[in-house]
Amino acid sequence: MPNVQVHSLFTDFDINLFKGGKHYRLYEKLGSHLVEVDGIAGTYFAVWAPSAKSVSVVGNFNSWNEEEHQLNVRWDSSGIWEGFIPAIGKGEVYKYKIQSNNNDIWTEKADPFARYCEHPPNTASIIWTAEHDWQDDAWMGYRKDKNGLDKPYSVYEVHLGSWKKNAKNKFLTYKEFAIDLVDYVKEMGYTHVEFMPIMEYPYDPSWGYQLTGYFAPTSRFGSPEEFKFLVDAFHQNDIGVILDWVPSHFPEDAHGLGFFDGSNLYEHPDRRKGYHTDWKSLIFNYGRNEVRAFLISNAIFWLDQFHVDGLRVDAVASMLYLDYSREDGEWEPNIYGNNENLEAISFIRELNEAVYSSFDGVQTIAEESTAFSGVSKPVEHGGLGFGMKWMMGWMHDTLQFFQKEPIYRKHHQNDLTFSATYAFTEHFMLPFSHDEVVYGKQSLVYRMPGDEWQRFANLRLLFGYMFTHPGTKLMFMGGEFGQTAEWNFEQSLDWHLLQYGGHKGIQDFVKDLNHLYKSAPALYEKQFSPEGFQWIDYGDHENSVLTYVRKGHDEKNDLIIACNFTPIPRENYRIGNPKKGKLTEVLNSDDAKYGGGGNLNTKIKSSTKPAHGYKKSIEITIPPLGIVILK
């Protein structure tokens, strides 16, 4: 009996789909799969390596000898090598030893479709099945409603390696996160959690954004079935799970996708399109059908096999433009003479069409920082087809404003009001992400000016303004309790800070903001529509005050918001009242329970005196560096 028996999981139809770039479930065919052939248990292997002269499976089972288990190349010019190896089972480590058509080139590669990988710095793939008895039927049944664009969407962004460490300063496991992290996210009132990349990556300082195991949850925290257990735990607590996903680039590590079979297989062969100078990484060849099928299959894989509810797509801007971070002469225009990467744009549209046609109740979210038009517009209407787009301009302008000393803010109020002019051109998510608390930018609380009291008051005001601004929300871990140090991926968040009143106050305020967001239809029902927002007055620069209304379907749920961006309380401050009936204060960032000064509005005076174009008005106290929300 030969060491490798002829066997295939591919049909002719599979091969035709693969060659055409339309096979979106390649993970069911390529990679390693435990099977029985003629009653004999073993493993079927299949790998795409069209420039190979020979491909062998090597591992401990054959002393890493490439002569022992050579795969068979298919006869159909697909470039797929495959075969069945008897008596090789779950848990065996392996790689592919590939001899290129150029006899001088040998590569030894991890399986691009491996479901499990060795713990870094080891780099081999592991034959695996991830059995899990899902208990999230209820969530999967109603998540379409939970995940809708007219529903509250408040995301807690997490780097698993540094959210919290155990007593020995080691990583928590997926199963430990299923208790500690799930309980915390639920208590804080977030609707979703977003994980920075959990696909296998070799280098910790990359934070997971340089992937080598696209189909394998990182073994740093446990096994694939344990990651399924974590997702399941979130779902059983009505919390959606979003994964950061990186189709924009990949590292040149020797065991990774680069120069896979001795040729530019996954990366674009033209370095002007195939290499990121910023990240020292390779760029996928979006014009190659098989590469498109690999990437779309990977997106589908996480939604299908792991019940994930959304993908936040990293570095979309770098994909859209041929001249991204390149000087003149370092890029070549497209056939129309401009700088758009037509192949990447076509791929993104195909990706989003495949995702949304395959799954109910999921979202794709673009991290996209340019003015590219129609990012969150449906493909059939000429857009890229994402569900949402990060509102990077709002984030930049808002933080720039808040960093200014209050005495100067009256000259820069347009930094805040400008966002209203374009807030509804896309389905925007408002992000305060990990990128804003690294590389010398300081933590959010330490970017605020003033003494300690003013820093915390400013941060509460910042978060209050964020939650009452149109759009969905994203907050990076640590911001919710005023982490003072910049984020360090090598150590736990500073949870000990919660023993101090200011930090506990921030945490309690964010918790109440989340619960208000979820319970107040005016904050989410029309969060992507101009009908959901109305200025009362954006022109009081001298007092640095903004007043506006958030609206839902039923006007009785409307909210009036007043923000004071100075440390001077605005007492008896008159604003036009567009609403009938008695107004009550539902949230005040200056409440003593949050660490504020206690300037509350227990009785709101209503008057027939006109103001701001309305026949009636009210007088309220807007506390120093505070936000007041009235219903």
Q: Which residues are catalytic?
A: 314, 367
In 3D space, the residue among 260, 346, 357, 339 whose CA is nearest the CA of residue 299 turns out to be 357
What distance in Å separates the CA atoms of residue 412 and residue 395, rounded to the nearest whole number?
Answer: 15
Please state at what angle helix 224-236 crosses helix 137-146, rounded to 10 degrees: 60
Structure tokens at 398: 């808002």
Q: Which DSSP helix (H) or strand (E) runs through 92?
A: none
> Which residues pair with residue 475 across a beta bridge?
156, 432
What distance in Å separates the CA atoms of residue 139 and residue 107, rounded to the nearest whole number?
Answer: 44
Structure tokens at 317: 């801007």
Burial class (CB in 10 A: 0-12, 13-18, 19+), 276: middle
> Which residues pair with residue 123 across a beta bridge?
none
Structure tokens at 605: 């005076």
What distance in Å separates the CA atoms of residue 260 and residue 249, rounded to the nearest whole number?
Answer: 15
Is it true that the peptide bond before 224 is cis, omega within 30 degrees of 0?
no
> Which residues pair with residue 540 across a beta bridge?
545
Do residues 314 and 214 touch, judged by C-beta distance below 8 A? no
* Neighbour count for residue 407 (Cβ, 10 Å): 11
For 167-256, where are the E strands, in sequence order? 192-195, 199-200, 213-217, 240-245
> Which residues pair with residue 606 across a beta bridge?
618
Do residues 422 and 391 touch, judged by C-beta distance below 8 A? no
What distance in Å separates the CA atoms of residue 393 and residue 419, rounded to the nearest whole number?
Answer: 8
> Which residues pair with residue 390 across a beta bridge?
429
DSSP label at 530?
A: G
Do residues 216 and 116 touch, judged by C-beta distance below 8 A? yes
Burial class (CB in 10 A: 0-12, 13-18, 19+), 249: buried
* Neighbour count for residue 580 (Cβ, 10 Å): 9
What distance in Å separates the CA atoms of residue 181 and residue 495, rounded to the nearest whole number?
Answer: 13
What distance in Å separates the CA atoms of residue 626 and residue 566, rounded to the nearest whole number?
Answer: 8
Do residues 183 and 280 touch, judged by C-beta distance below 8 A? no
Do residues 285 and 274 touch, judged by C-beta distance below 8 A? yes
Parallel/antiparallel/unpaired status of strands 570-576 and 626-630: unpaired
Q: Which DSSP helix (H) or strand (E) runs through 342?
A: helix 342-358
